[in-house]
Amino acid sequence: MPTRGFGQPQPTKTDKLIESVVHYCHKRHPEALDQIFDNSPVELNKKLLAGTVAALSGDMDTLAWFCGYMASAINRSEDNQKPHPITLLSKLLIKHQMQPFSDFMPYPGCRLVILNTEKFEALPHSLQAVVQSYFDVMENSPEQMRRVNDALLEELVVAVQE
């Protein structure tokens, strides 16, 4: 961490948490990430997510791993020893200029949701065919996606309260 000189702004609590999240992503330590995300309010988690994605933007492997973690494909450190289709797909999409959490979204239950269908449809047809051969690709209306989002949110709220 760079030293801060006199008169320089000190890192905020959020900045320090983002540094921790990035560190744990590099270490591939999902249990430590759980401690941070499970014990932070929703609004702070949104800031942590945005800051982490920005900090990892130059590190495709770690960003793809983080997508796998966010999609619940990686729950324990032992999970790092096996290949994860969600992580591999995330890496492939990132490699083709799709941005996680804006062009596609990892969801619990080992799912990815393509948010930017125009960008996905602009990918080479061979890549689209690979994605469709390994994953169930479903097209949903905005109303269907809202219902799915609401159901996932309800699952997450119940899981946090238990």
**Confidence band for 111, pLDDT divided at 50, 70 and 90:** confident
Closest by Cα among 21, 115, 18, 13 to 66: 21
CB 31 within 8 A of CB 77: yes
What are the structural domain ranges in the chain? Answer: 13-161
The whole-number pLDDT of residue 59 equals 97
Q: How many CA atoms lie within 13 A of 56 on its CB side?
A: 29
Structure tokens at 27: 């270490």
Overall pTM > 0.85: no
Beta bridge partners of 107: 111
Structure tokens at 144: 């269907």
For the cut 80, the answer to whether the pLDDT of residue 134 exceeds it is no
Structure tokens at 116: 């930017």
Per-residue pLDDT of 65-105, as tens digits, reads 999 999 988 999 999 998 888 999 999 999 999 999 888 88
